[in-house]
């Protein structure tokens, strides 16, 4: 999946490809968060958009007259690129809500997604009954595994169908959208840079929500006047982060595929944070240190590192599923350099399990640790010996082709419609070598400058 951005925040024009592990790095105020939030919002909202898959009237007439109709999914796969282009135009209009920012900032913004229809997978089995608001079952949509045909069957007599043909067409188009595009767009989970604040004020957020509901119930105020009013004060990714943190008591009752099949990853994570998170029956959130298991610390009492990793910990244990996209804005937040290295190794493990990872980072430690994982991932005896001596597991090693790295910076690029290059803020793809890893000059320049100054201090005479 390729993403193209125009006039988004400070980014004049930029392109990036979503890899198994995608990294955007660069100095402050160069557009990293803009690119991240735009992608995140699209992945959260594309299912809610009404995408214009074209279903012929003859198909609806056949369904209503014969009680069954079969659609060739390959016909609709051919429409996918055109449909997605229209979806991106509609999404571009929603960006002010995604960023909770004034509409005038996004008047000229363009968000585009390009796909390869050959990447569309129609393999999963699909079944869905469609009912009226009163619960009367009307028709059944199904697709058998590995089939390229979608079958729509009426569940009663044709003359008793209570859903208008136009609505039937919309419903079928909605499920075509899900069946065809789901394999292209991973389910996102974001840990925003504001996650530590959400952890601290979780109790207050829940109290405020419950108090509001209580007051509504005691007045004549129509709840719909609140439900349909736009109260989004924060960017959508931050809202999603807050919503996740507020719902930890419910979320903690679920088990992820990692908890089911890879408990050692959770054990490694517990070792990273030096303990475990727990939610009590009365929705109290605590951190329990390994040393002194009888001690329960609130988020206020816990370290900033414990708060920083809270969302990731609950995601891994309770929500993670194959094919997800874990988005982490600045994973190094409040972490000691050693734990930054361990987080890099965790991300590599997740990628190798089948979870995509997308991060923005200022951490040279994370980049260098990923370089180590790339450099060790070769079938040479001395590299295997080094990996064993230094405690690296084979499941932590990663290939250079699994990673996409982009530097947010000023660079000369050809803008659309221009023959000459223009200096502007963009994303520049970093070189990734299978032998030496990621070339991230923005870090190297800073480190070289510091080394140069220190060498002058130590070696130059007055």
**Tens digits of per-residue pLDDT, 353-400?**
999 999 999 999 999 999 999 999 999 999 999 999 999 999 999 999
pLDDT level of residue 328 (50, 70, 90 thresholds): very high
**256-292 per-position pLDDT tens digit:** 999 999 999 999 999 999 999 999 888 888 999 988 6
- Are 277 and 180 spatial neighbours (Cβ–Cβ below 8 Å)? no
Is 368 a member of any domain? no
Q: Is the model more confident about 14 or about 119?
A: 14
Model confidence at 213, pLDDT cuts 50, 70, 90, reads very low
The tally of domains found in the chain comes to 1
Residue 231 lies in a domain: yes
How does residue 83 score in pLDDT terms, banded at 50, 70 and 90? confident
- What pLDDT score was predicted for residue 227? 44
Q: What is the residue range of 260's domain?
A: 193-236+244-320
Summarize pLDDT for 451-462 with one digit per residue, the tens: 888 888 877 765
Placement of tokens 């729509």 in the chain: 152
Are 286 and 314 in contact by the 8 Å Cβ rule? The answer is no
Q: What is the mean pLDDT of residues 429-436?
A: 91
Which residues, 6+ apart, have CB-to-CB distance to 255 below 8 Å?
317, 318
Question: What is the per-residue pLDDT for 291?
Answer: 80
Split at pLDDT 50, 70, 90, the class of 221 is: low
**For residue 198, what pLDDT band results from cuts at 50, 70 and 90?**
low
Can you state the percent helix, strand and coil of the chain, rounding each to 5? 45, 20, 30
Q: What is the pLDDT of residues 169-189, one digit of tens each?
A: 888 888 888 888 888 899 999
Q: What is the pLDDT of residue 204?
A: 56
Beta strand pairing status for 285-289 and 68-72?
Answer: unpaired
> 457: number of CA atoms within 13 Å, CB side?
6
**Quick one: pLDDT band at residue 231, thresholds 50, 70, 90?**
very low
What share of the chain has pLDDT > 70, as a percent? 90
pLDDT classification of 215: cutoffs 50, 70, 90? low
| pLDDT in the model for residue 226 | 47
Q: Is the pLDDT of residue 210 over 90?
A: no
Residue 428 lies in a domain: no
Res. 317 pLDDT band, cuts 50 70 90? very high
Q: Is the pLDDT of residue 410 over 70?
A: yes
Q: Which two tokens stand for residue 177?
A: 């959208």
Average pLDDT over residues 304-330: 94
What predicted TM-score, i.e. pTM, was given to this entire model? 0.87
Give the whole-angstrom CA distance, residue 49 versus residue 87: 7
Q: Is residue 273 part of a domain?
A: yes
**Adjacent-strand bridge partners of 23:** 359, 405
Beta strand 21-25 with 403-414: parallel, antiparallel or unpaired? parallel
Q: Using an 8 Å Cβ cutoff, are 125 and 145 in contact?
A: yes
With b for 16 or more beta-carbon neighbours within 10 A and e for fewer, the 294-327 pattern comes to: eeebebeebeebbbbbbbbbbbbbbbbeeebbbb
40 belongs to a structural domain:
no
- Residue 109 confidence (pLDDT) above 90: yes
Reported as a pLDDT band with limits 50, 70 and 90, residue 294 is confident
Evaluate whether 41 touches 95 at the Cβ level (below 8 Å): yes
Residue 242, strand partner residues: none
Confidence of residue 439 (pLDDT cuts 50, 70, 90): confident
Output the DSSP codes for 212-254: HHHHHHTS---HHHHHTS----S-HHHHHHHHHHHTHHHHTT-
Question: How far is residue 176's CA from residue 226's CA, in Å, rounded to a whole number?
Answer: 33
Mean pLDDT of 112-139: 85
Residue 217 has pLDDT above 70, yes or no: no
Tell me, yes or no, whether 437 lies in a domain.
no
- 214 occurs within a structural domain: yes
Kindly state whether residue 298 falls inside one of the protein's structural domains.
Answer: yes
**Confidence band of 351 (pLDDT split at 50, 70, 90):** very high
User: What's the rounded Cα separation, in Å, for the pair 151 and 142?
Assistant: 5
Residue 247: predicted pLDDT: 87
Residue 138's pLDDT band, with cuts at 50, 70 and 90, is confident
Whether residue 332 has pLDDT greater than 80: yes
Residue with tokens 């609806």: 60
For the stretch 21-80, pLDDT in tens is 999 998 888 899 999 999 999 999 888 777 778 888 999 889 888 889 999 999 989 888
R_g (Cα) of the chain, nearest Å = 25
pLDDT band at 137 (very low <50, low <70, confident <90, very high): confident
Share of the chain above pLDDT 90, in %: 52
Instruction: Specify whether the CB–CB gap between 319 and 256 falls below 8 A.
Output: yes
The confidence score (pLDDT) of residue 259 equals 96
pLDDT at 208 over 80: no
């Amino acid at each position: 999946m390729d993403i193209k951005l125009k006039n988004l925040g400070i980014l004049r024009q930029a392109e990036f490809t979503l890899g198994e592990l995608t990294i955007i790095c660069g100095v402050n105020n160069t557009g990293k968060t803009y690119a991240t939030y735009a992608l995140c919002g699209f992945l959260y909202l594309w299912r809610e958009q009404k995408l214009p898959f074209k279903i012929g009237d003859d198909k609806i007439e056949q369904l209503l007259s014969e009680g069954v109709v079969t659609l060739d999914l390959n016909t609709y796969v051919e429409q996918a690129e055109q449909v997605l282009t229209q979806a991106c135009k509609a999404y571009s209009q929603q960006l002010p809500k995604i960023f909770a920012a004034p509409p005038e900032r996004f008047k000229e913004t363009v968000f585009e997604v390009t796909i390869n229809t050959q990447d569309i997978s129609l393999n999963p089995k699909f079944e869905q009954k469609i009912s009226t608001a009163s619960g009367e079952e009307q028709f059944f949509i199904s697709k058998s595994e590995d089939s390229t045909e979608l079958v729509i069957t009426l569940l009663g007599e044709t003359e008793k169908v209570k859903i208008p043909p136009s609505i039937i067409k919309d419903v079928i188009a909605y499920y075509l959208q899900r069946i065809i595009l789901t394999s292209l767009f991973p389910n996102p989970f974001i840990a925003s840079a504001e996650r530590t604040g959400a952890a601290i004020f979780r109790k207050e957020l829940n109290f405020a929500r419950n108090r509001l509901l209580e007051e509504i119930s005691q007045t004549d105020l129509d709840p719909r006047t609140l439900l349909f009013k736009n109260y989004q004060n924060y960017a959508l990714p931050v809202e999603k982060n807050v919503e996740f943190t507020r719902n930890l008591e419910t979320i903690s009752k679920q088990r992820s595929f990692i908890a089911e099949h890879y408990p050692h990853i959770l054990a490694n994570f517990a070792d990273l944070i030096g303990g475990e998170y727990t939610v009590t029956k009365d929705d109290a959130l605590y951190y329990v240190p390994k040393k002194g298991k009888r001690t329960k610390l609130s988020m206020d009492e816990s370290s900033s590192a414990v708060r920083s990793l809270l969302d990731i910990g609950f995601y891994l244990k309770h929500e993670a599923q194959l094919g997800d996209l874990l988005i982490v804005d600045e994973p190094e937040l409040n972490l000691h350099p050693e734990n930054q290295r361990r987080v890099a190794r965790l991300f590599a493990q997740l990628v190798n399990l089948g979870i995509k990872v997308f991060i923005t980072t200022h951490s040279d430690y994370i980049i260098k640790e990923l370089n180590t994982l790339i450099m060790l991932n070769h079938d040479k005896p001395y590299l295997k010996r080094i990996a064993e001596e230094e405690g690296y597991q084979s499941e932590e090693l990663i290939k250079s082709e699994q990673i996409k790295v982009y530097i947010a910076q000023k660079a000369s690029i050809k803008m659309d419609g221009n023959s000459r290059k223009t200096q502007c803020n963009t994303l520049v793809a970093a070189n990734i070598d299978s032998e030496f890893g990621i070339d991230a000059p923005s870090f190297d320049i800073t480190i070289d400058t510091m080394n140069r100054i220190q060498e002058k201090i130590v070696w130059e005479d007055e």
